Chain A
């Protein structure tokens, strides 16, 4: 069965960096686009970034572009989110999510991880 397990969350000061990882199993990771979606405490869902199956295409939300970088290691079935210059408003649970499309990205999410909490506070 599909499993997505995030790690790397924690408390970080404003302006510092953090790297999230998402270990994938139960499907052919190298054939699917992958996303990061976040949810601030008590708030709704916000799409953050997507990467194509081979890493050649990446898109970002305006709120994180230039500060966050999505990447993947298909040899290790792992997705990453490098978060730099963190702000208080980046505080959220970060979910990795599998794109529903095989090869082509369909931009909706058929499996989600359990989430990793990132708290940006001094």
Chain B
């Protein structure tokens, strides 16, 4: 199985801050990397697919980059509605694995 490791596991930030979350794959997954946002008690929501493509309807303050084993999700200016847990997921090979999550909290 490809292990996906996110860092940090949690972070505190102010509204307006630039936030970066990192995801590292156990081996190269090319650009088969996706990002989801999950709010408490809700289903996950797709933000970014194929490492850097913005899902329709997702605000442009979200962006993704990377390839191979190292990827980042950036929120350019954190908004109140962005406080949530973020997961990366590889779609390169079965089983399709997720990172452990990064919880973004209000500072």
Question: Which A residues fall within an 8 A CB radius of B?
Answer: 44-47, 50, 59, 61-62, 95, 100, 106-115
7 contacts between A and B (CB under 8 A): A44-B99, A44-B100, A59-B94, A61-B95, A100-B46, A108-B89, A109-B46
Which B residues are CB-close (under 8 A) to A46? 98
Question: How many B residues are at the interface, by size bracket?
Answer: 20 to 34
A-B CB contacts (within 8 Å), total count: 53
Instruction: From A59, A61, A112, give the contact of B44 (CB < 8 A).
Output: A112
Question: Whole-angstrom distance from the CB of B10 to the nearest CB of chain A?
Answer: 13
Q: Give the residue of A107, A112, A113 whose beta carbon is less than 8 angstroms from that of B45.
A: A112
A72 nearest CB across to chain B (Å)? 18
B91–A107 CB distance below 8 A:
yes
Which residues on A sit within 8 Å (CB–CB) of B55? 110
**Which residues 36-71 of B sit at the A interface, judged by CB distance below 8 A?**
36, 38, 42-46, 49, 55
Minimum CB–CB distance from A50 to chain B (whole Å) comes to 8
Kindly state the separation between the CA atoms of A46 and B99 in the bound complex, as whole angstroms: 9
Contact code string B75-98 (vs A, CB < 8 Å = 1, else 0):
000000000000101010011111
**Complex Cα distance A121/B39, Å?**
27
Cβ–Cβ contact A47 & B98, under 8 A: yes
Tell me the dominant secondary structure on chain B's binding face: loop
Residues in B with CB closer than 8 Å to A100 are: 46, 49
A86 vs B82: C-alpha distance when bound (angstroms): 36
Main secondary structure of the interface of A (DSSP, over half): strand
Known contacts A100-B49, A108-B46, A109-B44; A45/B98 CB under 8 A? yes
Complex Cα distance, B95 from A50, in Å, reads 10
Residues of B within 8 A of A59 (CB): 94
Contact call B43/A47, Cβ cutoff below 8 A: no
Are B87 and A45 in touch, CB under 8 angstroms? Answer: yes
- Docked Cα-Cα span, A112 to B36, in Å, equals 11
Sorted nearest first, the 8 A-B pairs with minimum C-beta distance are: A112-B43, A107-B91, A108-B34, A45-B98, A108-B91, A47-B96, A107-B96, A44-B101
Q: Is A106 in contact with B98, judged by CB distance below 8 angstroms?
A: no
